[in-house]
Amino acid sequence: MESFTDVPRVEESSDIGQKQDRVVTEEEWLQKWKMRQIGFHKEQGHPILRKYLDVLLLNGRSGLRIFFPLCGKAVEMKWLADMGHYVVGVELCECALKEFFTEQDLSYSEETIPGISGAKVFKSTSGNISLYCCSIYDLSSYADLMLSVMERSCCYLLVSVLYDSNKHKGPPFYVPEAEIKSLFGKVCEIKCLEKVDDFSDQHKAWGLDYFLEVTYLLTLKSVP
């Protein structure tokens, strides 16, 4: 993989740590796309990314390389590319990536990736969006991968969720701050930007009585 200057976010924290009790398998994700159970996709983009765009871009930096792990067909990839940034994504489901290019009206080419069996990269003809179709775990473990692509000035926007994990097993998976600290705390400053109530009827139907969305900004600690 290439080296990145910016890592915008981890979607809903699902795979940051590895929960022993409940894992959504690759087959289940592919099935969700096939059955169109894609309520996680936000057609207008993620409001948290909109809200913290200035924080992420450090007030208007341009020409950044922005990494979207678990990208699905996130529409933000198009608007960040339109702003002059270079976008790299990783996603299991080939149909999600093809839908992205079709829905965003972008032409693209498709290449295999030597060294990762079955993996492909889809590149926009304009050259500023490259989406890898493979498992992120084919590249590395999630947290290690995220750390390996962060450069000195990188801002990593991480959204996690909190709820009573005795009442719902996920996804999205419950990731407490302690786990984020244990995965990233040695090398990153971790700042909580906000903790908001995101409770909805869907969460109620899962048997929960609260559901919080917590947004962190991770930056590399300065080397002494």
Q: Name the residues that contact ligand SAM, by CB under 6 A.
A: 11-12, 29, 40-42, 70-74, 90-93, 96, 135-137
Nearer to ligand SAM, 89 or 188 (CB): 89
Residue 142, φ and ψ in degrees, nearest 5: -55, -55
Cβ of residue 210: shortest distance to ligand SAM, in angstroms?
21
Cβ of residue 23: shortest distance to ligand SAM, in angstroms?
10
Question: Cis peptide leading into 47, omega within 30 of 0?
Answer: no
Helices and strands counted in the chain (H then E): 8, 9
3-state secondary structure at position 192: strand
Compute the distance between CA of residue 101 and CA of residue 106 in angstroms, rounded to an integer: 5
Q: Which residues contact 218 (CB under 8 A, 6 or more apart)?
A: 150, 155, 156, 157, 158, 184, 188, 189, 190, 191
Cβ of residue 161: shortest distance to ligand SAM, in angstroms?
11
Nearer to ligand SAM, 133 or 154 (CB): 133
Per the structure block, which two tokens stand in for 77?
Answer: 């990839």
Nearer to ligand SAM, 34 or 221 (CB): 34
Q: Using an 8 Å Cβ cutoff, are 104 and 111 in contact?
A: no
Residue 46, φ and ψ in degrees, nearest 5: -85, 125
Nearer to ligand SAM, 92 or 214 (CB): 92
Cβ of residue 43: shortest distance to ligand SAM, in angstroms?
8
Cβ of residue 64: shortest distance to ligand SAM, in angstroms?
19
Nearer to ligand SAM, 145 or 147 (CB): 145
Cβ of residue 91: shortest distance to ligand SAM, in angstroms?
5
Among 24, 151, 9, 126, smallest CA distance to 71 is for 9
Per the structure block, which two tokens stand in for 129?
Answer: 């969006």
Which residue's C-beta sits nearest to ligand SAM?
Answer: 72
Nearer to ligand SAM, 41 or 61 (CB): 41
